[in-house]
Structures are given as C-alpha cells and as structure tokens.
Structure 1
Amino acid sequence: MRYIGSKLKQLRHDLGLTQTEMAAGVISVSFYSKVERGYHDIGAEELIEILQKHNISFQEFFSGISKEDANNKRVNILLRKFVKAANVDDDTEINNIISEIENIKPRTPFVKSEILLTKLIANTHDEDALRKLNEKEKREIKKIIFQEDTDENEYIRIAMIANTIRVYSFDEASFLISSIIRRYKDVDKIEGKLLLAISAAMTNFINWCFENGKANLCVKAIKYLKALPNTVELAFTKILVEYYESLIKGKFDDVKLIRNLFTRAGYGTFVNKMVDKYNKP
C-alpha cells in the first residue's frame, strides 16, 4: 500500500497537482489522501483510471517517467487550465499560470514555445485587446499561427485560433473552422486536450457569428459540437450548444435558465460575453 501511495504522491508533485486534481473525480479526495499516506489500498481499475486522466501509462507509472516528460505533462495540464481561464477573462489566473510555466526547469524548446503561446493569448484573449491590434500586429499573429514551427503541435495552432478568431475576416474564420471540421471529422479518435481546444475554437466562432447576425455561418460548427462525445470535460461546451440552439428556436426561457446557471456557477464574466438574442442574417 505504501509503495503505490508514495508513487502517486511523487507523481502528483512532479505534475504540480493538488490532491483534488490528482484524484480527478475517480475516488474521493479524502480516500485518495489516505492512499498516499498508506492507510488505504486502491483498486487496479481506479489506479488505471487516475493515470489515464493524466495521460500516464501503467508502464510509466511503475518504471518512472523522466523529468522532461513530467514537465511536459505538467505544462499540458497547465495549458488546459489556461484555456479555461482565457475563455472567462480571468486575468489573475492567466498570469498565475504563465508564472507557473515560466518556473518550470529546464526550459526545453517545448516549454519555451508554450510560454510564448500563453503570453500571446494573454495579450489578445478579450475583445478589447483584439480591437486595439493594428493590421501589422494582426498579420504577425496569423504568421505565428501558420509558421512551420507550429505544424508539429496542432494543439498549439488550434488553441491560438480559438483565442484570436476575431483577428480574421469572417471568410477566413469560416475557412479555418471548416478545415478543422474536415480534418477532425472522426471525433471519437481525437485526444482529449486537442478536443477541448477544438471545442473552444468552435464556440468562440459561433458566438462571434451570432454577435454579427451571421448565425447561418456557424451551422456546421453547431452540428459538429453536437456530435462530440458526452464527457464531463465537454459538459460546458454541450450546454453552450443548447444555448445557441435555444436562441435560434426562440426558446428564451431556456436561454435565461442557462445564463443563470453559468452565472451561479461563477462564470459571470463569460456570460457577459454571450449574445442574448438571435439576429437573423
């Protein structure tokens, strides 16, 4: 018992997670805490599920993962938190996450690229910041997104598209979203982190279309999101799809209900960015 518990504790520290984050809803936090301290045993199924939640193989867990691999996995966890913080304009959390990534040593090329990514998004994640960009700065963002260095990491590319979608014209944005849909049509085969980035790109595009009375341009994006797996990680996205469909169908009681639900859950800033009426094209 103590061996498994100590291995889990070391892995949790390497990934920079709290006990709540490490337990990942698989077992209770109190039970997990006792596993780390050797007071409780953990079943094989629960252990495997916890490891899968953090993209750790059984072999890696028992043989040990390298410092670089642990750092890369930690960065990926921080990036998922970062995308959520950027979507709700939580500047405090954004800056905290950037600081955490900057403190990761050694600074491998991967870590450096993620620092650049998060800083770029931090400076462009809200509508006010994007409006202040001049044409030269917009061209630079597009260049960064499509330069050769980002071809190897599609997650970075799509996360950047998600958070800078308003840099593009509607024609450009529609083309990008359609390209993503075509490339990732087999939704059941998409890795979890990438799926979250894709869903963020779709929802940001949909909201932008609704704001400008161009909801007809986002029909494919809505259909794509509806086809995504019904997982806990995508619950927020699935509720948003219901929100936009309720707008289109004129179900304003449902629209109000969903807005209130998000507000009560602490997403008031995000709610303020959501359109509340359907401007037909």
Structure 2
Amino acid sequence: MQFAIKLFFIVEAISVTIGDLLREYRVNQNKKQKEFAGKILSPSYYSKVEKGKHKITAEDLISLLIYNQISVKQFFCRLDENYEENQFLEEQLNCLLAQAYFQNDKSKLEEIKQQVKDSCLSSEAKANQLLYADIFLALMNNSLQDNKKLQDKVRKKLFSMDEFDEAKIMLYGNSMRFYSLSDNKIISQSLIRKYRETNNIIIQKYLVSLCVNMLIILIENNDLKDIKPYTDVLEENIDNPDFLFYRSVYLFLINFIKYKNLGEEKYLGKCNKAIEAFRTFEMNAYADELANFLKKHK
C-alpha cells in the first residue's frame, strides 16, 4: 500500500522584506500582532516592524521565529531575491512528482528526475527533489524496506536538519516505512503533542497526513489498540474543506477498523463506497490501491 501521501502547496507571491514575511507567517497562523510578538517586542513596535517603519535586531528576529515555531533557515532563505522563482519551480516539480506517484507511472518519475537535474535549482533543492523521487520510486517498486542505501540517505538527511520543521516533517512522512512500528509510534505521537494546537495550516496538513499513515501502518500490523491519538487529531481536523482528500481516506480507514473490530458488514459497505468515490473523481489508481488493501487485510 503506497501510504505516504505527497503534500504540495501553492504559495502566494512572496515579498523580500522582513516585515512582509513576518506578516505572512502571522496571518497563516491566525494570530494577532500582540500574540505573535509575545514578550519579545511590544505590540506597537512589532506593528511598525511589519510596516517597515522600524528595524528589528537579528537576536529579536530569531527569538520571534523560534517563539512562533518558524524555521529560521526557511525564513532567511525566503529573503533571497531568487526565492520566488525557485519556489514556483519546486512547486511545479512537486505537483508532477505527486501526479506520477498517484498514477503509478514509473517512467514519468524518471523523466521528472531528469528535469530536476537539468533545472536551475540550487544543489540542495535538487538533492531534496531527487530524494523525494527516489522514495516514491522505491514505494512503487515495493523495495523500500530492502533499499538500505536510500534508508541511510534519508536518515542522514533527517539527522542533519534542524529540529522538526515543515520540511523535516514532510520528509519523515514520506519515509515512515524506514522505521519500526514502535519508532513510528514514538515519533508520530511526539509530533502530535508538539503541533496539535498549531494554527499553521501547512503543519496541520502534515500532521493529518501522518495520522492517516499511522492508521494504515497499525492496520497492516494488526495493532488496533493504539489508534486513539491519531483518530482524535483526524476528528478535530477532518471537517476542514482543505482536507477533503484526507477526509475521504480517513472515512475508508475508520470504517475498515470498525469492520475489523466488530465484524459488521455495513462497515465494509462504507469502505467500498469510499473506494467508489475515488473512482468518481477519476483517481482510479488510488481506488485500486484501497481495494487491494481491503482485500489483503480484511
């Protein structure tokens, strides 16, 4: 079962000023200026920083980013004058990778890898895109568990990155098969505790994706006694219209779990309805995966 859902986002036009970037992050977190500034800056001073009327020291800026759980590295990368162009290119490549992955198109993934190599992205960005592509290819070839070289590469990448930020959570979500069931429980539940109350919509999506992945892992391991941390998060977020895809997958999984626990055919019928919904939306490859998953584990 290809469970690691590829996430990609359309980012709005990005300014190169510190104030505008701070405002964007604050708005994305649904915070007022006073809440965002905390005790680091007075609300009036912070307001003028956003408007570009006051400067902010490097020490205060870094403290502000850490306080609001914003990656310092990512923030400063976004001040680069070429960021917007490169970000758009990365987003397009992400979309292509996701489409090829969900369509189970290995040849397309190989083509995209060559596009990445020929692109004008930085060496680091290229390496990241190629790593994601290799993970998806390994998933499609069912060779992820045996690919020790790729596993070591991912672990090294995760180890070298800062404390879990958006990029690191995404990479972990796409490589959960590298970890044991017990390790995945520890890591995923730690992330839930840390980010469950976040207002950052991107991290919310990653967290929802991780919880969906964990339900699949638990079903595969016939370990259904530890689902509550994940179902609680999904129940809290599942009505968000931005999470329609995850809602559909979750409805399939929760009804499958009810069928496993209670043995009632009505829950199996709901699983089949979820599969048909994916076919209605012409996501036939994913519908086939769910159908095969149902057949294998029921």
> Could you tell me which residue of structure 2 aligns to residue 5 of structure 1?
none
Report how far residue 179 of structure 1 moved: 1.6
Query: Are the structure 2 counterparts of residues 122 and 262 from structure 1 closer, same or farther at C-alpha, using a change threshold of 3 Å?
Result: same
Question: Equivalent residues in 2 for 1:150-169 (5 A)?
Answer: 150-151=161-162, 154-169=165-180
Matched, 1:144 2:156: yes
- In structure 2, relative to structure 1, the CA distance for the partners of 1:90 and 1:231 (3 Å cut) is farther
Asked whether the equivalents of residues 106 and 137 of structure 2 are also in contact (C-alpha less than 8 Å), the reply is no
> Structure 1, residues 65-106: CA drift from partner, whole Å, max 9, x if none?
94342112331353255346435634344334434433331x
Equivalent residue, structure 2, for 1:245:
254
Find the aligned partners of 1:221 and 1:88 in 2 and give their Cα distance: 27
| 2:197 alignment counterpart | 186
Q: Give the AA of the match of 1:164.
A: S
Contact 1:72 1:111 in 2 (8 A): no
Which residue of the other structure, out of 112, 118, 124, is the alignment partner of 2:138? 124
Shift of residue 57 of structure 1?
Answer: 4.6
3-state secondary structure, aligned to 2:139: coil
Deviation at 1:218, TM superposition (A): 3.0
Query: Does the Cα contact within 8 Å between 2:97 and 2:133 map onto a contact in 1?
Result: no
Question: Equivalents in 2 of 1:84, 1:185: separation in Å?
Answer: 29
Q: Distance in 2 between matches of 1:127 and 1:183?
A: 34
Distance 1:181 1:84 in 2: 28
The residue matched to 1:216 in structure 2 has which SS? coil
Counterpart-to-counterpart distance in 2, 1:132 and 1:157: 23
Do the aligned partners of 1:98 and 1:118 also contact (CA within 8 Å) in 2?
A: no
Find 1:270's aligned residue among 286, 293, 297. 286
Q: Distance in 1 between the 2:225 and 2:141 partners?
A: 22
Q: What residue number does 1:55 align with?
A: 12
> Per-residue displacement from partner, 1:129-164 (whole Å, max 9, x unpaired)?
12433xx4375145224322x227733322232222
Please provide the CA RMSD for this pair: 3.4
Structure 2 counterpart SS, 1:56 = coil
Deviations 1:25-63 (CA, angstroms, capped at 9, x unpaired) = xxxxxxxxxxxxxxxxxxxxxxxxxxx953225889xxx
| Cα distance in 1 for residues equivalent to 2:206 and 2:138 | 16
Map of 2:35 onto structure 1: none
Question: What do residues 212-233 of structure 1 show as CA deviations (whole Å, max 9, x unaligned)?
Answer: 2112233212221222264444
Distance in 1, Cα, partners of 2:137 & 2:187: 22
1:88 and 1:216 mapped to 2: Cα distance? 33
- Judged with a 3 Å threshold, the aligned counterparts in structure 2 of structure 1 residues 86 and 144 are, in CA distance, closer, same or farther, namely farther
| Match runs of 1:101-112 below 5 Å | 101-105=116-120, 107-112=121-126
Structure 2 distance, partners of 1:76, 1:218, is 33
What amino acid is aligned across from residue 166 of structure 1 in structure 2?
R
CA distance in 1, matches of 2:231, 2:141: 22
Equivalent residue number for residue 82 of structure 2? 67
Give the Cα separation in 2 of the matches to 1:113 and 1:145: 10
Q: Which TM-score applies when normalising by structure 2?
A: 0.61
The 3-state SS of whatever aligns with 1:276 is helix
Report the counterpart of residue 255 of structure 1 in structure 2.
Answer: 271
Alpha-carbon distance between aligned partners in 2 of 1:83 and 1:205, rounded to the nearest angstrom: 20
Q: Report what 1:4 is aligned to.
A: none
| CA pair 78-263 structure 1, distance change in 2 beyond 3 A | same
Higher relative contact order (CA 8 A, sep 6+): 2
Higher alpha-carbon deviation: 253-262 or 219-228: 219-228
**Letter of the structure 1 residue corresponding to residue 281 of structure 2:** A
* 1:203 maps onto 2:160 in alignment: no
SS in 2 for 1:227: helix
> Percentage identity across aligned positions?
15
Aligned pair in 2 of structure 1 residues 244, 102: CA closer, same or farther (>3 Å)? same
SS in 1 for 2:211: helix
Alpha-carbon spacing, 1:222–1:229, altered in 2? closer, same or farther (3 Å) = closer
**How many residues in Structure 1 have an aligned counterpart in Structure 2?**
220
**Contact 2:13/2:84, CA 8 A, preserved across alignment:** no
Q: Report the counterpart of residue 221 of structure 2 in structure 1.
A: 212
Q: Which sections of structure 2, spanning at least 5 residues, go unmatched?
A: 1-8, 18-79, 260-266
